Amino acid sequence: MASSRKRPSGKRLARSARRLARSARTIAVGLSGGVDSVVLLHHLRAQGPIAAIHVHHGLSPNADAWAEFCRALCRRWKVPLTVKRVSVRREGSGLEAAARDARYGAFREIDADVIALAHNLDDQAETVLMNLLRGAGARGASGMAERTRSGGKTFLRPLLGTTRKEILAYARKHELEWIEDESNADVGLTRNFIRRSIGPLLEARFPRWKESIARAARHIAKKEAGREELLRNFLQSKGLRAPSEAKLAEMLKQLTAGGARTLIEHDGARLRVYRSKVLLDPDTPAEFSRQEWKGEPLLRLPSLGGELRFRKARGKGIALEHKPLSVRLRAGGERLQPDPRRPRRTLKNLFQEAGVPPWQRERLPLLFSGNDLVWVPGLGIDARFQAARGTQGLVPEWRSTPRAA
């Protein structure tokens, strides 16, 4: 198959297929009967044992004829074929998406480790353009991956770097036969509209627009893969189990697009986003009642997910004459003056300035002397209660309890 230097050659694709074959019991080619899938089957069947699957959608009056074409082709090439009839539900996101969902459902049911699909470079460019026109984010702009996992299957797209023109040249060179789906002429379908109406206009001004979009998609996909790895490592560092690939992708999508209200539950923990950072909110908040501090150096507060530690220091901390102290949660309207040179301000403003996420503000242990606010974790001690220079003071410290791995 013809190929440029920047795209994988036929030999390289064959080596990739052989490596997969060694680690898989069976590779099955998704065979529609169109030129792309016929070329892929012809190309891969010489590399070792292979099977094929044809999905009968029943959407075309020619669907039975297409299934029979695939049966005849596989008999001639001595390739085992499975024909799966599916029911396409025309609701939700449209006919194209419904047919794709039904097709992948059939692929996941077949007895094969690897499903090889015949998507090519033109398909990739059209897919990315469609996704962008629909307002998709980075994941949509990254297009189709050369290799993905879903439902316990590996989906491989060996022709993703090969143009439709090269595929047709290969088919003619080897005198292959294929079928034409009459729906490919229906510009009412978004992909066909782009292929037949938008594509030629772009090609007149940008002859290599497909290659350029596909290249941009690869760059975006690399960044997306890097983000997935970062998220996977973050979860592992917090003692959380790794999610499935599908859930990881969905988590990344929500975390990337979400704001302060984003909440994702995973493995007993909750992930949130604040100021473009992913943070862990380990447990569902438990009830907390006011608790008196009786002078102990360590006060455990499991319902708040941590412990308060106290140490004595000269010229630092809370002046000792302000004991006893009590621990309470924020009720609203509290004000604090950590710096005697600056005015007293609301906790809301101080928390925003310090970058404390909203959901954490409500679960921080505040120290009070009577009804007066003395100390807030991360913000400091109110000026009225600070130990004077040379006098003994009490320095509080709030430590979150690490989640058990």
Whose tokens are 């140490």? That residue is: 311
The pLDDT of residue 359 is 79
Main-chain phi, psi angles of 60, to 5 degrees:
-115, 145
Q: Which residue has the higher pLDDT, 261 or 403?
A: 261
Q: Could you tell me the pLDDT band of residue 238, with boundaries at 50, 70 and 90?
A: confident
Q: Considering only 135-144, 267-276, 322-331, 386-395, which range has the smallest mean pLDDT? A: 267-276
Residues β-bridged to residue 150: 153
The pLDDT of residue 6 is 40
Taking the C-alpha atoms of residue 284 and residue 307, their distance in angstroms, rounded to an integer, is: 17
In this structure, how many other beta carbons lie within 10 angstroms of the beta carbon of residue 172? 10
The pLDDT of residue 227 is 77
Contact 96, 88 (CB under 8 A): no
The pLDDT of residue 170 is 94
156-165 exposure pattern, b = at least 16 Cβ within 10 A, e = fewer: bbbbbbbbbe
Architecture of the structural domain at 10-219: 3-Layer(aba) Sandwich (3.40)
Residue 9, pLDDT above cutoff 70: no
- Does the pTM exceed 0.85? no
Strands 372-376 and 366-369: antiparallel
Residue 193, pLDDT above cutoff 70: yes
User: 332 — alpha (psi -120 to 50), left (phi > 0) or beta?
Assistant: left
Taking the C-alpha atoms of residue 302 and residue 269, their distance in angstroms, rounded to an integer, is: 15
Taking the C-alpha atoms of residue 137 and residue 155, their distance in angstroms, rounded to an integer, is: 23
Q: Could you tell me the pLDDT band of residue 337, with boundaries at 50, 70 and 90?
A: very high
Q: What is the pLDDT of residues 12-68, one digit of tens each?
A: 445 555 555 555 568 999 999 999 999 999 999 887 789 999 999 988 899 999 999
Residue 258, pLDDT above cutoff 80: no
Token representation of residue 54? 């044809």
What percent of the chain is modeled with pLDDT above 90?
47
Q: What is the pLDDT of residues 62-98, one digit of tens each?
A: 999 999 999 999 999 999 999 999 888 766 667 777 8
Q: Which residue has the higher pLDDT, 261 or 347?
A: 347
> Helix or strand or coil: residue 49?
coil
Kindly state the average pLDDT of the residues 386-393.
91
Taking the C-alpha atoms of residue 239 and residue 235, their distance in angstroms, rounded to an integer, is: 7
Residue ranges per domain, the chain? 10-219, 238-281, 291-400
Whose tokens are 């975006």? That residue is: 220
Residue 156, CA atoms < 13 Å, CB-side half-sphere: 23
Contact 318, 394 (CB under 8 A): yes
Q: What is the pLDDT of residues 348-376, one digit of tens each?
A: 999 999 988 887 888 899 999 999 999 99
Q: Which residue has the higher pLDDT, 60 or 274?
A: 60
Q: Which helix (H) or strand (E) holds 375?
A: strand 372-376
Cα–Cα distances in Å, from 234 out to 144, 158, 230, 280, 371? 25, 32, 6, 10, 40
